Amino acid sequence: PGGEERGRRAMIKKHFVITIGRQFGSGGRLVGKRLSEELGIHFYDENILSLTSEKTAIGEQYFRLADEKAGSNLLYRIVDKLKPQLGKPRVGEHIVTPENLFRFQAEVIEELAEAESCIIAGRCANYVLREAGFRERVDLFVYADLETRIQRAMDYTKTDREEALRRIRKIDRERREYHRYYTGEEWMKLDNYDLMINASRISYDELFSLMRDYIRMKGYID
């Protein structure tokens, strides 16, 4: 029976979306992509940038420059819980401000969620969909201790220890500030996720099984 269960492909029972927040080097992106292949649904990460560029006819380079980085409005940076309003994107001279680019991206995230079951990594997708009232979702966050992330980042990026550590610190800082800037909330606040997974002492296979089993327990797959 165990072998039969492992060999059986999970089937989706109803429309839903998985969002994955992740520390750099935790394995969240890699395993999220594997889960999308298992479920036969799309995995959206930085390809959201090209989709938003196509929808808006704004050059993709603008979205890449702003990708998972906080904007420059000082008030949003220093005042607790102050954040840009989502609403509709603006046109005209403010069209490529970081806040406006975020609004365009949020619209695409909402449209994807309404159109199909999928997995979305980062980009405050849990917050965007919560604000839009999209209820059929599972919000996950994957983290790990520093040593685990260094080793995984070295393997994934083919860099040495020093460079892996530099990337971890830089990217985690950018993601933390990005989330705080656009949501007014702390990136790793427990209340913002259905399940936070410590991937420090489990393999990628075990992380995959944990994600899949939790989604099955929630009634979205058989």
Is residue 93 very low, low, confident or very high in pLDDT (cuts 50, 70, 90)?
low
In terms of pLDDT, which residue wins out, 67 or 208?
Answer: 208
Task: Compute the distance between CA of residue 109 and CA of residue 105 in angstroms, rounded to an integer.
Answer: 6
> Taking the CA atoms of the chain, what radius of gyration do you get in angstroms?
18
Res 2: pLDDT: 40
Distances in Å between the alpha carbon of 57 and those of 19, 63, 104, 125, 200?
A: 26, 11, 11, 22, 42
- Confirm whether pTM is higher than 0.85: yes
pLDDT digits (tens, 9 = 90+) for 131-172: 999 999 999 999 999 999 999 999 999 999 999 999 999 999
Task: Compute the distance between CA of residue 216 and CA of residue 222 in angstroms, rounded to an integer.
Answer: 6
Res 174: pLDDT: 94
Q: Are 171 and 179 in contact (CB under 8 A)?
A: no
Is residue 74 very low, low, confident or very high in pLDDT (cuts 50, 70, 90)?
low
Distances in Å between the alpha carbon of 207 and those of 18, 30, 127?
A: 15, 10, 23
Res 1: pLDDT: 40
Mean pLDDT of all residues belonging to the chain? 88
The contacts of residue 70 (CB under 8 Å, 6+ apart) are 76, 77, 98, 174, 177, 178, 180, 181, 182
> Mean pLDDT lowest for which of 63-72, 133-142, 181-190?
63-72
Distances in Å between the alpha carbon of 72 and those of 53, 62, 95, 98, 175?
A: 21, 14, 15, 8, 15
Res 181: pLDDT: 87
Res 78: pLDDT: 54
Is residue 104 very low, low, confident or very high in pLDDT (cuts 50, 70, 90)?
confident
In terms of pLDDT, which residue wins out, 27 or 101?
Answer: 27
Res 69: pLDDT: 77
